[in-house]
Chain A
Amino acid sequence: MSTPTTPLWEVFIRSRTGLAHKHVGSLHAADATLAVQAARDLYTRRGEGNSVWVVPSSAITASDPADKGLMFDPADSKVYRHPTFYEVPDEVGHM
């Protein structure tokens, strides 16, 4: 027995606090309109958000876990990108 598959969608919700849309999960829907409706019905029933994005799961390109070192480790040593790297005398006050 084989059942035709209904496409998978990734759901992103913007919370009421105005933060960026955040990935909350996925669902199945035949098309984008039904996916938005289903996302609303599944992921916002406790007032979690005021905006929904849905994206076909197949549209996502992800970095390769094998590339984790070359992709992300080089940023670790760039401490001068952070404010705490710089010394400003206390007398100057908050900066």
Chain B
Amino acid sequence: MYTGSITVAETPLLRYVLGRADDALVLGHRLSEWCGHGPMLEEDMALSNMALDLIGQARALYTYAGEVEGAGRDEDAYAYLRDVTGYANVLLVEQPNGDFARTIVRQLLFSAFIDPYWRALMASTDQTLAAIAAKAEKESAYHLRHASEWTIRLGDGTAESHARAQQALDELWPFTGELFTVSAAERGLVDAGIAIDPEALRAGWHAIVARVAGRATLTLPADGWMQRGGREGRHSEHLGHLLSDLQYLQRAFPGARW
């Protein structure tokens, strides 16, 4: 029976799995906010499909977190009963949708990272993570394609769409550095072959983003100061509002089943 916020054990594997799950849930939640409000019906369908992919990934990862922790918690306990500081997603995914350009560029920056990441994680010594990665990779590959095609069209479309896409890229760029950070605890998982070193993906990520930006006639911002803190639970103010929506019913009616 749920009675209030939960605190989870700070074991490296649990923390790692929850971080990946939180990335997927928070980004999926953001995309689902578009449902019914997209720029054309075809994109309502597309954004909802991506939201469903990501929420599905989050569910698989939270369920695995429950096994890792062994405290009898299910997927919803992690999603609905951790407070903001317990969430370990990167700051990029919690950034508000903004206009369609910002949503698409956020999706591009994240998908260009997570797709190669899942592909590499398919070789994890952890069989469950390897299996989740294999399924997620097909989904993220499509997200990357969708976001790339739209980034190209917005960047090389009209003057207005170009300006909006460039602004989105400029404003989201400082959140990309965090994708490649590894905590001390995660370093141990990398060494054990369970997790992978994101630093090894940096050049590939940059090449993908640069190629898409080039076709989109967009200018890649210079690497200045990079925001970070999400993985350690130090989030932007946006995440709290997202969670107060997401967790409202579970918090208002403790212990109820839905």
- Residue numbers of A with Cβ under 8 A of B are 6, 27-30, 33-34, 37-38, 40-42, 45
Contact = CB atoms under 8 A, between A and B. Distances in A.
Contacts of A27: 42
17 contacts: A27-B42, A28-B40, A28-B41, A30-B153, A33-B149, A34-B149, A34-B153, A37-B46, A37-B145, A37-B146, A38-B42, A38-B46, A41-B42, A41-B46, A42-B45, A45-B45, A45-B49
A41 B49 contact: yes
Nearest to A27: B42
Quick one: which of A29, A38, A40, A41 has the most chain B CB within 10 A? A41
Contacts of B142: 40
B83 to A, nearest CB: 35
Nearest to B46: A41
B181 to A, nearest CB: 32
Interface in B148-205: 149, 153
A34 B149 CA distance: 8
Contacts of A38: 42, 45-46
Contacts of B46: 37-38, 41
A42 B146 CA distance: 14
CB-based closest 3 A-B pairs:
A38-B42, A41-B45, A41-B46
B152 to A, nearest CB: 9
Contacts, number: 27
Contacts of A37: 46, 145-146, 149
A27 B149 CA distance: 18
Interface residues of B, number: 11
A52 B28 CA distance: 26
A63 to B, nearest CB: 30
Given A28-B40, A30-B153, 5 more contacts: A28-B41, A37-B46, A37-B146, A41-B42, A42-B42
A21 B146 CA distance: 23
A41 B41 CA distance: 11
B28 to A, nearest CB: 16
Contacts of A45: 45, 49
Contacts of B153: 30, 34
Interface string B38-71: 0011100110010000000000000000000000
Nearest to A43: B45
**Chain B CB within 10 Å, residue with most, of A29, A30, A34:** A34
